[in-house]
Structure 1
Amino acid sequence: MTDTASPTVLVFDVNETLLDIETLAPLFARVFGDAAVLRDWFAQTILHAEAATLAGHYLPFGRLAGGVLRMLGTVRGVPVGEADVEELRTRTLAMPPHPDVVPALRRLAAARFRLVTLTNSAPDPAVNPLERAGVAPLLERQFTVDAVRRFKPAPEVYRQVSDALGLPGPDFCLVAAHHWDTVGAQALGWAGALVTRPGNAAVPALPQPDVTAPDLEALAEAMIGRWRR
């Protein structure tokens, strides 16, 4: 990505980037006696989603997340029942936005960026987490991997967005809290913007994001300064 390129569409990851997964911690504290198991569960869910895509297999992200919860129960010798899996689903659908999300999105929209989302989570017929969180009105569109039945960072996932909006790669910037996600988008010529939520950082050996900041409001300021001069 060069300084002369100016993305017009910001594509936001959802889980952890916009919505706060730490609100799932009470479930892990109750089941495992350790809220920190949340981070192991999330990392293992991403790992197995990527493995499924590489192996040519697809299942909804929520179902995979429940399966990983049961796997961790087996590994740790802790019983995980159907009620626990259902609680995970219920809590996931009710995750709130981080406090910096709405102010940052409003500022970016005022700077004439188009705002969309792209998530590993399949649509839920009963609940739209972004609508429940009050974020949906700020978005132009919401995309999920379910349309291509592959998980990020598979190129088909990002390509569906550029195809749907009819714009070339340099018009897009992927905004995420996960370096592996920005790496996937940058491989297609997109820009990458990394918000280093607690527990997240860039890997020095991989292609670096174009913009990095510790919170979404600081990231918004940096993107406006770089691409809206």
Structure 2
Amino acid sequence: MTAARLRPSVVAFDVNETLLDLAPVRAALIEAGEPDHLLPAVFTRTLLTGFAAATVGGWCRFRDAFDTALAQTTDLSPVDRARVADAFGELAPHPDVEPALRALTEAGVRVVTLSHGSPGVAEAALERGGIAPLVERTLSSEAIRAWKPNREVYLWAAGVCDVPPDRCALVAAHGWDVQGAQRAGLTGAWFSRSERVYPEVFDPPHVTAADLAGAVGALLALPDA
């Protein structure tokens, strides 16, 4: 379903899971002796920690929230937890990312990334995947000590890109991220990767698609005016 929105001038992409494959982090957990199914629980608890800190007016870095999640769910030593966290520096894009970003840039749409993850992770992964030239800039909300889905993050990103919120879109494989973007006035585009369905308790997404290519195609199909 596509709501009445304008074609964005800038498309911001969530990073972890949406663009980047977390397989190296999963492999690091397995190497540390943890079960291969643990990563989703750790990642979810990481987000819970960050969201809770932000909700009550505090803040913490993504890496610190991830370390806390590991400490709560495993018996790993601080050294082993640090090794697992370092694996975020080895992430690479999913295979469908390059054609999706290229379709946008060839259509004259600016591409950025927007994460509350550690600065440098997106840059390194984009370079590793050979697609850094397709991305205008990488944004981490650590710069303003905030976490998505706080509307402040999305408005900050639109401001940095010098576009009004309604001409900026957020593409994410996480419903909570799309919900936050839409509440801030951005166009939200959700596709199925890490979640099977979009949460019904949220506002319907402006764009929903079965895959990343479909989400990008739907945004490009929106009217210019």
Give the TM-score of the pair, scaled to structure 2: 0.90
| CA spacing shift, 1:4–1:176, aligned 2, 3 Å | closer
Q: For 1:226, what is the secondary structure of its paired residue?
A: coil
Counterpart mapping for 1:1-229 below 5 A: 2-31=3-32, 33-73=34-74, 79-124=75-120, 128-227=124-223
| Structure 1 range deviating more: 12-21 or 199-208 | 199-208
Instruction: Report if aligned partners of 1:177, 1:200 keep a CA contact under 8 Å in 2.
Output: no
How far off its partner does 1:158 sit? 0.9
Q: Which amino acid counterpart does residue 216 of structure 2 have in structure 1?
A: A
Question: Does the 8 Å contact 2:7/2:220 carry over to 1?
Answer: no
Q: Percent identity?
A: 34
In 2, are the aligned partners of 1:13 and 1:118 still within 8 Å (CA)?
Answer: yes
Structure 2 counterpart of 1:10, which letter?
V
Task: For residue 128 of structure 1, give the secondary structure of its aligned residue in structure 2.
Answer: helix
SS at match of 1:151: coil
Structure 2: where are the runs of 5+ without partners? none
- What SS does the aligned partner of 2:155 have? helix
Report the Cα offset of residue 217 of structure 1. Answer: 1.8
Give the secondary structure class of the aligned counterpart of 2:188.
strand
How far apart, CA to CA, are the structure 1 residues paired with 2:196 and 2:15?
A: 15
Report the more deviating stretch, 1-10 or 40-49. 1-10
- Matches of 1:124 and 1:114 in 2, distance apart? 20
The answer to whether the Cα contact below 8 Å between 1:7 and 1:227 also exists between their aligned partners in 2 is: no
- Please list the CA deviations of residues 172-197 of structure 1 after superposition, one character each: whole Å capped at 9, or x if unmatched: 11101100001001001111001210
Deviation at 1:202, TM superposition (A): 0.6
**Partner Cα distance (1:9, 1:166) in 2:** 9
CA distance in 1, matches of 2:36, 2:169: 33
Question: 2: distance between equivalents of 1:2 and 1:218?
Answer: 15
Query: In the TM superposition, what whole-angstrom CA distance separates every residue of 1:66-90 from its partner, at most 9, and x where no partner exists?
Result: 12111111xxxxx201332222222
In the alignment of these two chains, the number of paired residues is 223
Give the distance between the partners of 2:21 and 2:179, measured in 1 at CA: 22
Q: Distance in 1 between matches of 2:211 and 2:25?
A: 20
Of 189-198 and 3-12, more deviation after overlay is shown by: 3-12
> Quick one: which amino acid aligns to residue 109 of structure 2?
F
Report the Cα distance in structure 1 between the residues aligned to 2:63 and 2:78, rounded to whole angstroms. Answer: 14
Superposition CA RMSD, Å:
2.1
Q: Which amino acid aligns with 2:29?
A: F
Contact preservation (8 Å) 1:11, 1:173: yes
The answer for unaligned runs of 5 or more in structure 1 is 74-78
1:27 Cα offset (Å): 2.7
**SS at the partner of 1:52?**
helix
Q: d(CA) in 2 for partners of 1:176 and 1:198?
A: 10
CA distance in 2, matches of 1:200, 1:34: 22
- Greater relative CO (CA pairs within 8 A, separation 6+): 2
Amino acid at match of 1:212: T
Q: How many Å separate the matches in 1 of 2:112 and 2:220?
A: 17
